[in-house]
Each structure stands twice: as C-alpha cells, then as structure tokens.
Amino acid sequence: MNLKSMTLPEVTAALKELGQPAFRGKQVYAWLHKGVRSYDEMTNLPKDLREALAQQYPLYAPVAVRKQESQRDGTIKYLWQLSDGNCVETVLMRYHYGNTVCISTEVGCRMGCAFCASTLGGLVRKLEPYEMLDQVLFTQLDSGLPVNHIVLMGIGEPLDNFENVMRFLELVNSQEGMNISMRHISLSTCGLVPKIDELAKRKLQISLAISLHGPNDAVRDKIMPVNKAYPMDTLLAACRRYYEATSRRIHFEYAMIDGVNDTPEAARELLRRMKGLPAHFNLIPLNHVEESPLKPSSKAAVANFQKILEDGGITATVRRTLGGDIDASCGQLRRKHQKKQE
Ligand code: SAH
C-alpha cells in the first residue's frame, strides 16, 4: 500500500520494519499530511532514512495541468494529473461559512447517468485513498485557502469505491492529519442500496446526499440506469433505514431538467413518497452538457417546484451555481482536456 494511504498506526508499523522508533511514524505521518512533494522536504529525518523511504515507498503528488479561477465568485477548479497520467477534477468553492472542496473519487464513472459529463467515457479506475487526500491537501496548498468542508461530489461514484473512500475519510479526519470533522463532510451517491446499508453500519457523522433527480421509476429509469437495479421504493426504504441508524437527515439532490422531472405533478408525487422521511432538497438547475439533449428547467418552473415542496413541509433550497464561467460542474474540464488530446 502507498505510505500516504496508511493510518498512523500503519505508518508507525511500516517504519518499525525499517528499524525506526515509534516517534518517526508520527513525524512521517505529519509530513505526508502537510502535502510534501519529496521525502527530502522531511528535514527532521536522517538522510539515509529518507533514501530508504523513497526506495520502498515512492512518494507521489498530483500536478495541476489546468487551473481556472472564476472572475464572478472566486471558485477555483483544478485538473490534477495523477502519477499514471490520468486526470481528475477538484473544485474549491468559497462560501460565507468557509471554503469547501469538491473532490473526485474515481477516474470516470460507470453509473451512466444521462445528464452527467463524468460518465461519458466510462470508468477508467478507482482512486486510491491518498489520491483523494492529495486533492484536498494540494488544493489547500496551491490556493493558500484553508479547507473547512469536503464534498464527495466530483467525478465518480463514492460508494462504488467503498473501502478506499472509507479509508480516505479516516485519514482526512485524523487528529494528526487535516483533522476535518466528519460533520463537515458530505458524500453523494446515485443510490447503491447495499452500500448505503453498509455505510449506515459505520455510523459516521457525515452528511449523506442522494442524487434523486426524479419522483418515480418511470422518470429515474430514463435518466439513471442505476434505478433499474435499485428502484425508488428500495432506495427510499434504504434511506429510512439510514436515518434510523444514524439520526442524520438526508439531503436529496434534484437536477431540474426541462420537461423531464420539473412539473408541479412531479413535485406533488415527491411529497407523497417522502412522507415521514426527514429530508432536505437541493434543487439544481441542470448544467448543460454539450453531448446531451437535456436542458435546464426555467427559473419559474424551479421556483414553483420549490414552493410546492416547501408548502408540503419539505425544506428545499435552490443551489446557487458557482463557477458557471469555468466549466465547474462534474467532469466537464476533464472531458474537454481529453477531447483536445484525442
Ligand atoms: N456519483 C455520485 C457523486 C457525483 S455528485 C452521485 O451521483 O451522487 C455530483 C452531483 O451532480 C450528483 O447529484 C449528480 O447527479 C449531479 N450532476 C451531474 N451532472 C449534472 C448536470 N449536468 N447538472 C446538474 N447536476 C449534475
């Protein structure tokens, strides 16, 4: 395993194998979580130890191949190149309550949602825990802005890379590392039901977001292939179990697509089906993806949909779109970069 994917006890054990005392483990772990690019930056280690580590545990750091900064809202988007040449996107968003980093969990995605740019080329590979950590570390370092919140809403399906994502959460939350509170982390899934149950068992204090995007199977089947494996009743039942296990209110993402899922009838159907499930809805006007015929809903349709949900007792916010001038939504930058190289 990569040294940067290891927990502190694991790093300490790895150093012990190299004949080192326990305090070296702590030193190395602290350096790794500062975002060093080479063992030579670990100035309080003896030179021969630095060399031994470089031999046994090659140290990787991502390279920013593109960086775009929004002139409107300060959103910064990075295209990071990984050690094997693959690229993933990370977005830093600035809110009044702090800075949020949106990270990718996979190179590409195999979920096939009709409106999403991340899935167009399929899944290339899953990210290692340290490759998720690196996105947070190096975004913070490069931007000079402290990261307070993390959302797993970039490229990929986090629950399709379950163990690596769980390990990443443990690393980024560790006191000797970035020490980011679980309550400041959100994980979004398109609805992999068995994994939602597995996540519930871990009883983490993270926020769970479900990409719903439809009021029923007819609509979800059309735009989200995952619904065929886990239809909406099955998904909502898993959400109820998740709530019972964790007492954490679930967030539902709902991309508003013109003529597909944005009618008043759709809002009323949602209200009926969500009964008794504490929920918050994020309504997101669809970001237009070049390859897709789907279009965003009108402002009026979004406002009306929101009003019906709120009148029915479900809180719903319309997501402010940040970084509209820099392709800051899911997979668009990586896609453009790929196309240019083809
Ligand atoms: N695979 C996970 C994580 C991706 S999160 C998931 O599906 O939840 C990214 C969020 O943006 C998801 O809610 C996704 O459905 C949504 N999304 C993807 N493409 C979009 C687009 N073109 N416009 C608006 N939202 C989009």
Q: Whose CA is nearest to atom 12 of ligand 1?
A: 211
Indicate if 330 belongs to the active site. yes
Q: In what order do the strands lie in the sheet with 149-152?
A: 63-69, 76-81, 87-95, 98-102, 149-152, 185-189, 207-211, 250-256, 279-285, 315-318
Q: What is the pTM of this model?
A: 0.95
Q: How far apart are the C-alpha atoms of 231 and 257, rounded to whole Å?
A: 20
- 89 C-alpha vs ligand 1 centroid, how far in Å? 14
| C-alpha dihedral (129, 130, 132, 134), degrees to nearest 10 | 170
pLDDT over 90 (residue 319): no
Do 223 and 119 form a contact (C-beta atoms < 8 A)?
no
pLDDT over 60 (residue 278): yes
Phi and psi at 224, nearest 5°, equal -135, 100
Q: Whose CA is nearest to atom 10 of ligand 1?
A: 153
pLDDT tens readout for residues 226-237: 999 999 999 999
Q: Whose CA is nearest to atom 24 of ligand 1?
A: 286
Which residue ranges have their beta carbon within 6 Å of ligand 1? Answer: 111, 113, 115-116, 153, 157, 188-190, 211, 253, 255, 284, 286-287, 289, 329-330
Say how many CA atoms lie within 13 Å of 301 toward its Cβ: 19
Give the pair of three-digit tokens for residue 189: 């899934």
- Active-site residue identified among 253, 310, 330, 342: 330
Q: What is the mean pLDDT of residues 136-157?
A: 97
Give, rounded to a whole angstrom, the gap between the first and last alpha carbons of the chain.
33
At residue 320, the pLDDT reads 74
- 265 C-alpha vs ligand 1 centroid, how far in Å? 23
pLDDT over 80 (residue 326): no
At residue 212, the pLDDT reads 98
Reported confidence tier of residue 334, pLDDT bands at 50, 70, 90: confident
Q: Whose CA is nearest to atom 5 of ligand 1?
A: 153
- 116 C-alpha vs ligand 1 centroid, how far in Å? 6
Per-chain mean pLDDT for the chain: 95
Q: What is the mean pLDDT of residues 325-339?
A: 69
Reported confidence tier of residue 328, pLDDT bands at 50, 70, 90: low
Q: What is the mean pLDDT of residues 282-307?
A: 94
Pocket test for ligand 1, best of 104, 115, 116, 185 (most atoms within 8 A of CB): 116
Reported confidence tier of residue 341, pLDDT bands at 50, 70, 90: low
At residue 323, the pLDDT reads 73
Indicate if 51 belongs to the active site. no
pLDDT tens readout for residues 92-122: 999 999 999 999 999 999 999 999 999 999 9
| Contacts of 52 by beta carbon, 8 Å cutoff, 6+ apart | 18
pLDDT tens readout for residues 42-92: 999 999 999 999 999 999 999 999 999 999 899 999 999 999 999 999 999
- 222 C-alpha vs ligand 1 centroid, how far in Å? 15
| Ligand 1 atom having least distance to the Cα of 296 | 23
- 81 C-alpha vs ligand 1 centroid, how far in Å? 22
Residues of the chain with pLDDT > 70, as a percent, come to 96
pLDDT over 70 (residue 331): no
- 143 C-alpha vs ligand 1 centroid, how far in Å? 25
Pocket test for ligand 1, best of 199, 211, 226, 289 (most atoms within 8 A of CB): 211
Reported confidence tier of residue 289, pLDDT bands at 50, 70, 90: confident
Q: Which one, of 70, 165, 122, lies nearest residue 335 by Cα?
A: 122
| Ligand 1 atom having least distance to the Cα of 213 | 15
Q: Which one, of 334, 341, 323, lies nearest residue 109 by Cα?
A: 334
Q: How far apart are the C-alpha atoms of 141 and 120, rounded to whole Å?
A: 31
- Active-site residue identified among 89, 128, 131, 253: 89
pLDDT tens readout for residues 188-226: 999 999 999 999 999 999 999 999 999 999 999 999 999
Pocket test for ligand 1, best of 104, 152, 153, 289 (most atoms within 8 A of CB): 153
Give the pair of three-digit tokens for residue 331: 């997979």
